[in-house]
Amino acid sequence: MTVLDPVSPLNRHFPPDRLLYGNLVSSPHYLRNLQGRPGVYFLFPDVSVRLQGRYVLQLTLMRLSRVDASGMVRVGESGSVLAQTRTRPFDVRPRHTYVAPPQTPLTEFFLQQGARMYAFASRPSRFHSDGSF
């Protein structure tokens, strides 16, 4: 995942790789959607943008060409691009004004299936007093 366009001119002098942090690579997750249909999903639960502004991200699905014995891709090695897409423009706000949106039913369903994402208690009635389900 990379920053495609920092729409705000304020951010144009920063290199794109310095704006994003978190896990920028995801392996496929085989999960069912709300209708029960199986699918392949790539999850990025902790990706963040460092600076306030308006952004578009580009996501690239690649087949890695060569993996060494440890399971890592060697520096300088590449793969073939299978698909690319861009997000809709979104705004990054200062931390002190940010309010996390409630979890979607799809996120909750993925969590029930074992997806490793942050679980915020958006609906406290579903959680016990000790924080467990």
Q: Is residue 108 part of a domain?
A: no
- What's the pTM value of the predicted model, to 2 decimals? 0.65
> Number of folded domains in the chain?
1
Q: Is the pLDDT of residue 122 over 50?
A: no
The pLDDT value given to residue 111 = 94
- The residue ranking higher by pLDDT, 9 or 45, is 45
Residue ranges with strand state E in the chain? 2-6, 20-21, 29-32, 38-41, 48-49, 53-64, 79-86, 90-92
| End-to-end CA, the chain | 32
CATH number of residue 78's parent domain = 2.60.40.3960
Q: Is residue 110 part of a domain?
A: no
Q: Is residue 128 part of a domain?
A: no
- The residue ranking higher by pLDDT, 9 or 25, is 25
The pLDDT value given to residue 46 = 86
The pLDDT value given to residue 76 = 59
| Full domain range(s) for residue 83 | 2-98
Q: Is residue 48 part of a domain?
A: yes
- The residue ranking higher by pLDDT, 112 or 3, is 112
